[in-house]
């Protein structure tokens, strides 16, 4: 193991991304190798979920309408590409009324019901964030960055839901982001099961979420898997597809250790 490297764990829900990303992080730490892990849904440099996005005038108007809460909002706000972003999820625990929280949620960069910026600006903002992240990574003492469902899963979901992008446009967006961190020899470890529908039924039962195995959801994941395979091929990404249909995670992790040990 040597140098700096970014490891992406990707795959359909329930494929083992999160557990394996955490396992690799713990393994590297135990080996005395500095690493940082970004788990799906948590704050990370690749995404802006749970961040409300405003123009300057929109932000000032909101703060003017809610002067008692304005200070808390401003403390979590930052500029990016002429927009103001406010990380608002943690603010729900304060004395915010439901109306204000809903206003922030409606401006969420990724989770809003409709886009808050144009598609090209969406890509540009994430590109800028990754450029900054790459510079910071170059200067810190972290060897490995481990990411869970970030370069494929959330990008595909957000772009198709918000912008109804076709496969080619989604892949181009992923390619732009990937270029920003290409200097760190990124590797995609793609975990998969042969029988996708069977796996979704298993996850639905374990998480008590029957909707996970609906016909619509199964069809969506089949389409998403197709895009992910196409992205790995078209962008010529360094990737390893590991079938864990038997859910033998010890075997999977042994393979991952070989991949990491031989990467460079």
160 and 56, same domain (yes or no): no
pLDDT band at 214 (very low <50, low <70, confident <90, very high): confident
Kindly tell me if the per-residue pLDDT of 14 is higher than 90. Answer: no
In a domain, 113, yes or no: no
Q: Which residues are CB-neighbours of 148 under 8 A, at least 6 positions away?
A: 9, 17, 18, 21, 37, 38, 39, 40
pLDDT at position 15: 86
Domain endpoint, select from 106, 131, 149: 106
Domain endpoint, select from 84, 106, 128: 106
pLDDT at position 202: 81
In a domain, 177, yes or no: yes
Q: Is 216 exposed, middle or buried (0-12, 13-18, 19+ CB in 10 A)?
A: exposed
Q: What is the mean pLDDT of the chain?
A: 91
134 and 100, same domain (yes or no): no
pLDDT at position 208: 79
56 and 169, same domain (yes or no): no
In a domain, 196, yes or no: yes
Measured CA to CA in angstroms, residue 236 lies from 7, 42, 55, 121, 254 at distances of: 16, 28, 37, 25, 25
160 and 60, same domain (yes or no): no
Domain carrying residue 71: 51-106
34 and 65, same domain (yes or no): no
Kindly tell me if the per-residue pLDDT of 2 is higher than 80. Answer: no
pLDDT at position 1: 45
In a domain, 198, yes or no: yes
pLDDT at position 96: 57
pLDDT tens digits, 54-69:
999 999 999 999 998 8
87 and 178, same domain (yes or no): no
79 and 209, same domain (yes or no): no
In a domain, 112, yes or no: no
154 and 239, same domain (yes or no): yes
pLDDT band at 52 (very low <50, low <70, confident <90, very high): very high
Q: Do 81 and 53 form a contact (C-beta atoms < 8 A)?
A: no
Does residue 62 sit in helix, strand or coil?
A: helix
pLDDT at position 264: 45
pLDDT tens digits, 29-48:
999 999 999 998 788 988 99
90 and 129, same domain (yes or no): no
In a domain, 22, yes or no: yes
In a domain, 205, yes or no: yes
Count of domains for the chain: 2
123 and 195, same domain (yes or no): yes
56 and 148, same domain (yes or no): no
Instruction: Over range 75-87, report the average pLDDT.
Output: 94
pLDDT tens digits, 90-125:
776 555 567 888 899 999 999 999 999 999 999 999
pLDDT band at 262 (very low <50, low <70, confident <90, very high): low
23 and 69, same domain (yes or no): no
In a domain, 67, yes or no: yes
Higher pLDDT: 78 or 203? It is 78
Q: Residue 18 maps to which CATH number?
A: 3.40.50.300
Whole-number Å distance between alpha carbons of 12 and 221: 7
Lowest mean pLDDT among 33-37, 130-134, 245-249: 245-249
């Amino acid at each position: 193991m040597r140098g700096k490297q970014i490891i992406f764990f990707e795959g359909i829900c329930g494929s083992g991304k999160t557990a394996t990303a955490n396992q690799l992080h713990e393994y590297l730490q135990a080996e005395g190798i500095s690493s940082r892990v970004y788990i799906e849904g948590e704050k990370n440099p690749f995404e802006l979920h749970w961040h409300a996005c405003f123009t300057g005038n929109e932000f000032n108007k909101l703060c003017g309408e809610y002067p008692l809460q304005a200070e808390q909002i401003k403390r979590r706000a930052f500029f990016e590409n002429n927009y103001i972003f406010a990380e608002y999820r943690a603010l729900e625990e304060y004395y915010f009324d439901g109306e204000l929280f809903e206003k922030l949620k409606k401006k969420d960069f990724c989770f809003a019901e409709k886009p808050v910026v144009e598609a090209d600006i969406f890509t540009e903002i994430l590109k800028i964030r990754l450029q900054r992240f790459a510079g910071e990574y170059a200067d810190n003492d972290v060897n490995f960055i481990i990411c869970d469902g970030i370069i494929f899963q959330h990008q595909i979901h957000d772009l198709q839901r918000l912008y109804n992008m076709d496969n080619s446009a989604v892949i181009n967006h992923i390619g732009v982001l990937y270029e920003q961190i290409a200097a760190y020899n990124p590797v995609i470890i793609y975990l998969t099961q042969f029988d996708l529908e069977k796996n979704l039924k298993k996850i639905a039962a374990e998480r008590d979420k029957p909707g996970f195995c609906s016909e619509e959801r199964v069809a969506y994941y089949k389409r998403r898997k197709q895009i992910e395979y196409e992205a790995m091929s078209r962008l010529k990404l360094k990737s390893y597809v590991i079938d864990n249909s038997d859910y033998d995670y010890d075997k999977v992790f042994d393979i991952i250790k070989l991949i990491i040990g031989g990467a460079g």
